[in-house]
A = this chain, B = another copy of it.
Amino acid sequence: MGLSPMPSDAPNQDAPDGVRSNQDARDASISEGVATLVPHNRALGIRFVEAKGGSVTLALPYDEKLVGDPATRVLHGGAITTLMDATCGIAVFVKLNEPIQIATLDLRIDYLKPALPDREVHARANCFKVTRNVAFVRCETYHAQNPSDLVAVANGTFMLFRSAGSEPKGGAQ
């Protein structure tokens, strides 16, 4: 996924109770970014679930138009991969916590078992390392009802296009 920095989406400061936390605002911003602003996510029905503990979770509801094999009605591997690519990208964004343009450099997916008919699939990604130019991410995908029984795992690297001004002085990698 190539992504421009998401538009800043400041929390509504004059809400009567001022109760909306920064994290809620961030999550609302991510949610909109995932499900509304990216046309292909919207077309597939991908939506934001949560960002916590350094991980980001997105959901892909079952839909007949995502089917890869009409005989079994299991999801197309490409739909699973699209979900994982999107989830990895958001995990990088959340980790960076600043507006930096990113792009998927590579993605490697293991398919452990088919995604079953009529069941929502969740992907949870964690960006576990960031260098000057590259972010490393891991993502696990499973039926929403059973997070420990993995459907697929992905490992990805994302390029970071930091603007010159954001560079640390003398920074190497």
Q: Give the distance to chain B from A41, nearest Cβ to Cβ, in Å.
A: 7
- Cβ-defined contact, A76 with B106, below 8 A: no
Q: What count of chain A residues pass the 8 Å CB interface test?
A: 59
Q: Answer whether A134 and B159 are a contact pair too, CB < 8 Å, given A81-B78, A82-B79.
A: yes
A109 located at the interface, meaning its Cβ lies under 8 Å from any Cβ of chain B in the complex: yes
Secondary structure of the A contact surface, majority rule: mixed
- Cβ-defined contact, B2 with A38, below 8 A: no
- Cβ-defined contact, A70 with B107, below 8 A: no
A108 located at the interface, meaning its Cβ lies under 8 Å from any Cβ of chain B in the complex: yes
Which stretch in A13-21, A23-31, A59-67, A90-98 binds the other chain?
Answer: A59-67
On chain B, the residues within 8 Å of A155 by CB distance are 108, 110, 153, 155
Interface residues of A in 26-79 (CB under 8 A from B): 37-44, 64-72, 74-79
On chain B, the residues within 8 Å of A107 by CB distance are 77, 81, 108-109, 111
Q: Give the distance to chain B from A36, nearest Cβ to Cβ, in Å.
A: 10
Q: Give the distance to chain B from A97, nearest Cβ to Cβ, in Å.
A: 20
**How far does the alpha carbon of A104 sit from the alpha carbon of B3 in the complex, in Å?**
25
- Cβ-defined contact, B85 with A67, below 8 A: no
On chain B, the residues within 8 Å of A3 by CB distance are 68-69
- Cβ-defined contact, A112 with B129, below 8 A: yes
Task: List 26 A–B pairs whose Cβ atoms lie within 8 Å, in order of A's numbering.
Answer: A1-B68, A1-B69, A2-B68, A2-B74, A2-B114, A4-B72, A39-B66, A39-B67, A39-B68, A39-B76, A40-B67, A40-B68, A42-B65, A76-B82, A77-B107, A78-B78, A78-B83, A78-B85, A81-B81, A81-B82, A81-B85, A103-B111, A105-B157, A108-B108, A113-B131, A136-B153
